Chains A and B, each alone.
Chain A
Amino acid sequence: MERPLPALAVFTLLVLLAGGLEVVRPFGRSLAGLTGGLLTLDTLIRTGLLTIVLVGLNLLMGYAGQVSLGQAAFYGMGAFWSAILTVRGPVLGLSPSLVQAWWWPWLVMLLGAALVGTFAYGVGWVILRLRGHYLAMATLGLGITVYILLRENLGLPHLNLTGGFDGVFGIPRLRLGPYPVWPAERYYFLVWLVALLVIALGLRVVDSRVGRALRAIHGAEGAAESVGIPAAAYKAQIFGLSAALAALGGSLYAHFQAAVVPATFGFVPSLELVVMASVGGLRSIWGAPVGALTVLVLGDFVRTWMRGLLPTMAGEVEGILFGFLLILVLLFWPSGIAGRRRAAEVVL
């Protein structure tokens, strides 16, 4: 933490190594083969996507001390924004040549992050007045409201923008000029490039005037204000930033998955994000990739194991795992994997 650059360099090397392994495939073995199916390219891409979201969540929860139980809503807003504008363009009266252009999805992605960030910034001014329990409940209400709006076609059934329960599918892959950022190996490098940039951004924020102000707000908001820190403004800004990052992750997710459904962005996913952040360590930017990877791998493992045990099983059985993880981490390991013990008691 004190020396972020070497850590960042080592981490970048690790990312390149894992990606390179998948591209080169030494001795004809893929990553999944080498790790006994535990680490697949899919898992690593997801880890990258979630890292983008979790860095924002860590800044918000771990550093500024503001809880969000509705972060998946912003993730979903980004995903659906990209999905709708790249697939349902004609319905909205956009010219096909515009929607077909290779730079259109990229522009949509950036616009989406900016818009969702601005929206959250505005909402943040209002709801971040609340503290503790009440903020948690308000963000939860916000998250569920967004989820219902997505599920109910935003109240505009004749346009069928979000596709209701079924969501939007057939989302195009990203392209750089004539080159598609696909198959998955290429997408891996794109996602992790963004994720590394976001981690670098997070490390910068934490180690700056803003980061110190956020920690001061977390420690004692009144005291922070008394020494001239505009707490309300900072809180709204960091809420906006975390939402923008979540939306960015969501857009990248939409182009990775090629299909989005509202259920991916409901209540349990919001909690899943909180569990990942807590497992990794709320008060550490490195907690984001560590937590995402740990929980994803554990989730995959449990799902496979449960399927073996109960072949007829359907649905989100891993919810029970998240519950246990959350309780155990909160009770016995509040600093998380990547966090430092000293900071532990301040978290949450």
Chain B
Amino acid sequence: MEVRTTWAHPVIRRQKRAGLGLWTGLVVLLIALILLGREHGFGPADFAQFAVDGLQAGAIYALVGLGFVVVYRVTGVINFAQGGFVMLGPMLTVTFLGQRTTAEALQLLLSILRAVLLTGLVGLLTYGIALRLRRTALPLTRIMITVGVYLILQGAALLIWGPRPQVLPAFTTLSMQDRLLVVGEVVVRAQTLWIWACAVTLLGLLAAFFEFTLLGKAMRACAINRTAARLVGIPADAMAALAFMLAALLGACAGIAVGPVTRPTFDMGLEIGLKGFVAAVMGGLVDIRGSVVGGLILGVVETLWAGVTRAGFRDVIAFLVLILLLLFRPLVPLSEEA
């Protein structure tokens, strides 16, 4: 409980009313989509299926969004390279597995661990090399630098892994074919359960980290006031680097969890990263709870939209929501920003 209050930025509370209109809008959209779906002859079972698929996608967006929130709160940078981290996770796992489509449980676990740690290192380097050099630069310059990092990651992935989708074995069966659980008329992949479990565990760990460890508390102090934190002896720079590493770890885990479902490709980071960003913006870019709820809602709305209208338009909704969000939800400015 404490986590929520300490992470809620004071400005958010004042802006709750403004955000209310937005949430109402989303709920109206949801109801409209459901009504439209009924018109097209979708039954309750179809909607349950949409909900399961939507919550699966939403959990991923929420995790990716958390990466944005952690970096933004501690450093004031929107980290565009987040999508690149999400892509690196599953790609590295595939490589560590030796490109095989089946694997031993232990082998998979070890590969995942190594991939996640390596991605974390990349996150650390991203900050250490690209952003530290021009700490004084305007926020926009720094965001462009992270765009450059994303391009490098994507280009490097294309060079290393080529343009074809890779295959990551499902966690339950340890092969390409995933087990399907049928509940009533709804089909749930075993991997979906893994994704949810992964999201809940990571959220819990993150909350515990910020609440109970000294390091986490130091990072929170930096998020609240960087100068004051530095005055009491917290190395703000190291905390910023750590934030980037945390974001990379979260991104890598999200990418690996969803890997068996979507088949990782070198350019998967852009779309998933942007949707994670949309989730983060729903929480005003600073609110963990808001961005988790935002991610889940985005996933459900998007899946419903794709089911009710046409599949190819699936991606449009996220970006329309993004533009509307940016326009109507007043965002929380960080005190450090000019």
- The CB with the most chain B CB atoms within 10 A, among A67, A315, A334, is that of A315
Closest 7 CB pairs of A and B: A320-B155, A323-B151, A323-B152, A326-B148, A141-B319, A327-B148, A319-B155
Chain A residues 307-348 with CB under 8 Å of chain B are 310, 313-327, 330-331, 334, 348
Residues of A within 8 A of B315 (CB): 144, 148
Contact with A along B255-270 (1 / 0, CB 8 A): 0000000000000001
At the interface, yes or no: B78 with Cβ under 8 Å from chain A?
A: yes
At the interface, yes or no: A301 with Cβ under 8 Å from chain B?
A: no
Q: Which residue of B lies closest to A314 (CB)?
A: B163
Known: A67-B140, A310-B159, A322-B155. 12 other contacts (CB 8 A): A130-B326, A134-B331, A136-B143, A144-B274, A314-B162, A314-B163, A315-B158, A317-B158, A319-B154, A322-B151, A330-B141, A331-B133
Residues of B within 8 A of A278 (CB): 144
Known A145-B316, A149-B316, A323-B152; contact A138-B147, beta-carbon cutoff 8 A: no
Q: Is the CB of A133 within 8 A of B130?
A: no
Chain A residues 248-300 with CB under 8 Å of chain B are 267-268, 271, 274, 278
- Shortest Cβ gap from B130 to chain A (Å): 6
User: How would you classify the secondary structure of chain B's contact residues: helix, strand, loop or mixed?
Assistant: helix
Contact with A along B279-301 (1 / 0, CB 8 A): 00100000000000000000000
List residues of chain A with CB under 8 Å of any chain B CB: 67, 69, 126-127, 129-130, 132-134, 136-138, 140-142, 144-145, 148-149, 151-152, 155, 267-268, 271, 274, 278, 306, 310, 313-327, 330-331, 334, 348
Q: Is the CB of A324 within 8 A of B144?
A: no
Q: Is the CB of A130 within 8 A of B155?
A: no
Chain B residues 153-170 with CB under 8 Å of chain A are 153-156, 158-159, 162-163
Known A127-B323, A310-B159; contact A323-B148, beta-carbon cutoff 8 A: yes
Q: Is the CB of B78 within 8 A of A274?
A: no
Bound Cα distance from A315 to B154, whole angstroms: 11
Contact with A along B176-215 (1 / 0, CB 8 A): 0000000000000000000000000000000000000000
At the interface, yes or no: B150 with Cβ under 8 Å from chain A?
A: yes
Bound Cα distance from A324 to B151, whole angstroms: 8
